[in-house]
Structure 1
Amino acid sequence: MSMKFSAIALGVALSFGAGVASAAEPADWSKVAAKKITVFYPGVSPIEWITKGSDHGGARLLKKGETCVGCHEEELADMGQKMASGSKIEPTPIAGKAPAIPVNVQAAHDGENLYLRFNWKEPKASGAAKMDADNQVKVAVMLEGNKVERADQSGCWETCHGDARTMPGADDKKTKYVKGGDLASGKFYDLIQWRSGKGEAHDGYVADKRVMDGGKGLVKAEGKKDGDTWTVVFTRKLAGGGEGDIALATGKTYNFGFAVHDDHAKGRFHQVSMGYTLGIDAKADIVAAKQ
């Protein structure tokens, strides 16, 4: 293994407490069902824009209970292209920004740990200035326990607001948040993240603000680049056990979404998924079956 590959491509596994030795992801991921999910560039489309009928025609359907992905799944790449090019809701387009990335998503569990695997081909770099010079890629996953209003329709968009940092004219210190978010009542998103620079991982949550650490559910996060293909695997205790950790149980489903910060991006300049469901031995968009 070259020093270059080690430095920029291989994420070092990080341990968050006991139990790492017993964690064993599937030996052959090719035997685990994969769902191709397109993450796309969202431009300036906070939840306030999504729910405003005069701006977003789908607001009426959202009020009737329709899901965002139900309306848009077949056009995500086209949507990303419009926003990345600046032709729609993007005042500061980045020339050459990848409008969309198809990602293969897989899930499994062993009765103790949940394993989430993301695999995609790296798009061509934009050549723009590096917003996050330390991390070529970041991957973030959010899980929600069916307590945040509309999370089953809009996915992670309930954490995306027009007054949060990197939005036009917003406070650079204000993070993502859930309106009325509260850990005690369960109104929050469980957040885990992997960063490519040093293989760094975070286990936090988004409630009234985003907190990057404090959880105890994440056992390890690993990533690597093989040629032009990235693979990132999260190992997460089903039971959780820390601040902002959702306890996952067999037979249950949870709201699920993820984001890829490609090409040294930060803040809102990422590619994001619509909202999906994750089932632990339960029917869902992505099923984590016991291995």
Structure 2
Amino acid sequence: MEAKEAEAAAKEKAEKAAFAEKTQQKIEQAVAAALANAGSSASAASASAGDSAPTASNINVDWGKANSADIPLFFPGTASIEWILGRNHGGKRAFTKGDRCIECHGEEIADIGQLIVSGESEKELEPNLIPGKRGSIPVTIDATHDAENLYLRFTWPDADHTPAPFIDGGKMDPENAMKLAFMISTDDVEYADRAGCWGTCHADANSMPFEPEKDALLGSDIAKRLNLEGGVTKYLTETRTKLELKGRGGKPLGGWDKLKDEGEIKAAQDANQFMDLVRYKSGTKEVEDGQILAERDMHGGQGAEVEATLQGGNWSVVIKRKLVSDKPGDVNIEAGKVYNFGFAIHDDYSSARYHHVSFGYKLALDNEEAEINAKKQ
């Protein structure tokens, strides 16, 4: 059975690689055709509805030398790090002992997402259902590097619009049909070795079940130190004195208001206890670079280049990121080391917690044991 499963997996991977290569060839052909017919009304008329206009690429990579990994995302609902560490998660004991999320759930990712997004999960992790919303997204990541940069290409199928019934117009973020973000960290960040970026997701963050009232936020002493105008953003436990996990006596889960002093937070920064974050927005073409520590701080960092296209019903997002940076909040990626990696996609004009997320994976340069193995050009 193991041999048959391995053979089937190899066949599926080969088919997906062939599909990805065919898709890339179509994109390149479309780019060439668009450039050859610049300004032509005939070219405009031939473009598929909803597809982005092809442009020449400034990120020159031989993707034939890249390594490919299939990593599905799933809809998490209101699951937070407090939920993972709380009473309702059957895997709490294994997680606290060091087991990675994918070790228990790697074969059931699509099923988990469908149960949550449909409201059929006994965990009741999604109170605001979106009819027809897909529970998971199959994503292929191609990874490669040269002497200076890491290159990642994310490819996945787009989906029909499913309006959110609790939002006027059905679109939470009408300007951006898609947003993609990924985080990288060292093992210095608590839980990152097991859960990737899940340690940044808290039950009291914006749009989550224990989100504080705005008056309570802006009237708190914490508001003098953090930007709370848009609510509580992602943060790491290293910056809080305590997390409420049990909720006994009606206590809200999380720890947004239990901020450590500036000296302790600076010490955490100096000890690499932060998540390096890159985020792209499709509608505004905005590329954001920053970190998560006491809050989400999009301060610019080293910067990253992103090119995104929607062609033939498939998204392709290429990201070029420097391996080494002298900017605070950036993780330097070195040969011989392994890093924690997690990513998320806000599809279909969604925002806040209504995204699809990955479990935690390992990223490295030229390392066959890492799930995301960036091979040298």
TM-score, length-scaled by structure 2: 0.70
| Structure 1 residues not aligned, in runs of 5+ | 14-20
Task: Give the aligned partner of residue 49 of structure 1.
Answer: 83
Q: 1:250 aligns with which of 326, 335, 338?
A: 335
Shift of 1:157: 0.6
| Structure 2 residues not aligned, in runs of 5+ | 1-33, 35-43, 165-169, 213-229, 240-267
Which is strand-richer, 1 or 2? Answer: 1
Tell me the SS of whatever aligns to 1:48: helix
Q: 1:261 aligns with which of 327, 341, 346?
A: 346
Task: Give the aligned partner of residue 223 of structure 2.
Answer: none
1:195-251 deviation line (CA, Å, top 9, x unaligned): 110321111111110012321142x11100011000001100000222311111112
Structure 2 CA distance, aligned partners of 1:178 and 1:288? Answer: 27
Tell me the SS of whatever aligns to 1:180: helix
Structure 1 residues 230 and 24: CA distance shift in structure 2, 3 A: closer
Q: 1:34 aligns with which of 49, 54, 68?
A: 68
* RMSD between superposed Cα atoms in Å: 2.2
1:90-128 deviation line (CA, Å, top 9, x unaligned): 111111111100000111100100001100111232133
- 1:113-128 alignment to 2 at 5 Å? 113-128=149-164
Shift of 1:185: 2.1
Structure 1 CA distance, aligned partners of 2:354 and 2:182? Answer: 16
Answer yes or no: is 1:231 the counterpart of 2:316.
yes
Q: 2:274 aligns with which of 188, 191, 196?
A: 188
Shift of 1:32: 2.2
Answer yes or no: is 1:67 the counterpart of 2:100.
yes
Structure 1 residues 272 and 243: CA distance shift in structure 2, 3 A: same
Q: 1:284 aligns with which of 360, 370, 373?
A: 370
Give the greater-gyration-radius structure (CA): 2
Q: 2:189 aligns with which of 148, 159, 162?
A: 148
CA contact (8 A) 2:65 2:376 kept: no
Tell me the SS of whatever aligns to 2:342: strand
Structure 1 residues 287 and 199: CA distance shift in structure 2, 3 A: same
Structure 1 CA distance, aligned partners of 2:53 and 2:292? Answer: 28
Answer yes or no: is 1:179 the counterpart of 2:213.
no
Tell me the SS of whatever aligns to 1:74: coil
Task: Give the aligned partner of residue 140 of structure 2.
Answer: 104
Structure 1 CA distance, aligned partners of 2:210 and 2:112? Answer: 24
Structure 1 residues 178 and 100: CA distance shift in structure 2, 3 A: same
Answer yes or no: is 1:9 the counterpart of 2:52.
yes
Higher relative contact order (CA 8 A, sep 6+): 1
Q: How many corresponding residue pairs?
A: 280
Tell me the SS of whatever aligns to 1:57: coil
- Identity between Structure 1 and Structure 2 (%): 43
1:23-42 deviation line (CA, Å, top 9, x unaligned): 85423x24422111110000
Tell me the SS of whatever aligns to 1:95: coil
TM-score, length-scaled by structure 1: 0.90
